[in-house]
Amino acid sequence: MTRPRDERAGPTPITLRYDDGTVRIDGLEEAFVSPSSLRESVPDLERDPRTDGWRVPAFRYAALRTALLDAVTEPNRIDDRVLALDSLPALRSVYELRSYQREALETWLETDRWGENASGDDPNDLRIITAPAGVLELPTGSGKTVIALKAIERLSVPTLVVVPTIDLLEQWQRELEREFDCDIGRFGGGEQRLESITVSTYDSAYLKADSVGDRFGLVVFDEVHHLGGEGYREIARLLAAPARLGLTATFERPDDAHEIIEEIAGPLVHRVDVDELAGDHLANYDLKRLEVALASDEREAYERAQETFTTYLARSGIRMQSGSDYQELVKRSGSDPEAREALLARQRAREIMYGSAAKLEALEEILDDHREERTIVFTAHNDLAYDVSERFLMPTITHQTGTAERRELLERFRDGTYTRIATSNVLDEGVDVPDASVAVVLSGSGSEREFVQRLGRILRPKADGSRAVLYEVVSADTSEEGVSSRRRDGT
């Protein structure tokens, strides 16, 4: 299928093509456009010695196009062949947005950075009237999916939706099929099928992006914080899609990789806080923190392990003030057996304070207080999850739980056969967990993201309007107090 060449374009137009995750630019010098002037808005413009042209990573396409339209007097001299978009039936979504959802969507739409529509005779350009790019931060349970569905409807352009887990892959596929009544493609879970609207896992998108990067006008990154990973960020770089929407409940990352996400997916443009929605669209909630003491033998073992750790630090001159100091310790442990011993001792200390006997006592009381309520108990380690399971006779889900068993347990939890469930990190993200009203964080990391996700499990509005409770059980006089305050910094 060839497109008619524009006769009025005069001699040698600038040609843009998609090529393996990049945009190839030919005819720049012939049109008297200086590459250095383009570099201001397209920093990674590079000469390609093999083709004697220029090249940018595909994610710069929108910026490149805008810059070129500014630099060229006659728009016709740009022959834009980057996107190869299929036609799409008119999309109609029946969802009514809530007011905060509408506000988020409109803010995102206003981030348009598409240049004026240039070569108007190309059906491929006409489809895209705007190219917004940005990230929305909204709490779990606030209906992020619905906003994305509306965004897809508004742009009505072939769209790739990228999600972290197979569970989410299936949820999105169902939603999209129901909403738009057309075939939905799928990359992931053993299937590689391209359609105008396609859902993909991050892993499959990583494998396919360079070959299908010209087929979408819009890309939606669900749980966009994953895009900060070293490998996953390539996905966004290889796609030419000028419109980008990122969704997450917790945008900022401790490693500052959100700055990279802003570059490749768009800046954070709108955020809604949990407390703005609590009581109205989400359940009201209480946070309770219980401190428990270590038993004397635990205390002794804890101090001994901590001692081993700190003595090594003192002897080796590591200051342990920031993350890089910790990295340093880890590096040394590769060659220095004493450093390794110190790290293992620290690990033992953590296991002791995370799984102390008194925590199980405290849990017993909590469970007594909430007998008939649906309760999820979270732990940091599988061992503790299994301990809880054994002592209180409640089912456990860890990553070792098979898919069939996992599905059955969640189903029974949903229908009320089980009112309690214990889990490690499995249910933090991406799994469709039935609503609960009580969450007990028996142990966990200092991650604010983990905390927010666990809190999200109890925030769906209750039918009777009752409040949800999240308990944190912390070992007193241990470094867990610091861990606990770190994770709650954002709330």
Partner DNA sequence: ACTGACCGACAACCAGCGGACCCA
Partner DNA sequence: TGGGTCAAGTTCTTGTCGGTCAG
Q: Tell me how far apart the alpha carbons of residues 442 and 439 are, in angstroms, rounded to a whole number.
A: 9
Residue 43 interacts with DNA (CB under 7 A): yes or no: no
The answer to whether the CB of 459 falls within 8 A of the CB of 419 is no
Closer residue to DNA (CB): 156 or 356: 356
All residues at 6 or more sequence positions from 332 whose CB lies less than 8 Å from its CB, including other chains = 316, 339
Provide the 3-class DSSP secondary structure of residue 111: coil
Which residue in the set 132, 430, 456, 461 belongs to the binding site for DNA (CB under 7 A)?
Answer: 430
Residue 485 interacts with DNA (CB under 7 A): yes or no: no
Which residue in the set 35, 75, 434, 446 belongs to the binding site for DNA (CB under 7 A)?
Answer: 446
Residue 475 interacts with DNA (CB under 7 A): yes or no: no
Find the shortest distance in angstroms from Cβ 311 to DNA.
Answer: 8
Which residue in the set 9, 69, 71, 166 belongs to the binding site for DNA (CB under 7 A)?
Answer: 166
The answer to whether the CB of 119 falls within 8 A of the CB of 79 is yes
Find the shortest distance in angstroms from Cβ 348 to DNA.
Answer: 10
Stretch that binds DNA, among 70-78, 176-184, 313-321, 411-419 (CB under 7 A): 313-321
How many residues touch DNA (CB under 7 A)? 76
Residue 333 interacts with DNA (CB under 7 A): yes or no: yes
Stretch that binds DNA, among 37-45, 104-112, 184-192, 364-372 (CB under 7 A): 184-192
Q: Tell me how far apart the alpha carbons of residues 313 and 308 are, in angstroms, rounded to a whole number.
A: 9
Residue 447 interacts with DNA (CB under 7 A): yes or no: yes
Binding to DNA in span 212-251, by CB under 7 A? 225-226, 228-232
Residue 450 interacts with DNA (CB under 7 A): yes or no: yes
Residue whose tokens read 């200092």:
446
Which residue in the set 120, 323, 416, 490 belongs to the binding site for DNA (CB under 7 A)?
Answer: 323
| DSSP letter assigned to residue 486 | H
Residue whose tokens read 């409940």:
249
Residue 424 interacts with DNA (CB under 7 A): yes or no: yes
First to last CA, the chain: 55
| DSSP letter assigned to residue 278 | B
Report the residue count for the chain.
491
The answer to whether the CB of 266 falls within 8 A of the CB of 260 is no
Q: What tokens appear for 300 in the block? A: 């002794």
To the nearest 10°, report the CA torsion of 352, 357, 360, 366: -100
Binding to DNA in span 373-402, by CB under 7 A? 380-383, 398-400, 402
Closer residue to DNA (CB): 464 or 489: 489
Which residue in the set 47, 92, 331, 467 belongs to the binding site for DNA (CB under 7 A)?
Answer: 331
Find the shortest distance in angstroms from Cβ 329 to DNA.
Answer: 8
Binding to DNA in span 254-273, by CB under 7 A? 254-255, 257
What track of x and - describes contact with DNA for positions 186 through 205 (by CB under 7 A)? -xxxx----------x-xx-
197-201 sheet: strands from edge to edge: 192-193, 184-187, 197-201, 159-163, 218-222, 243-248, 133-137, 268-271
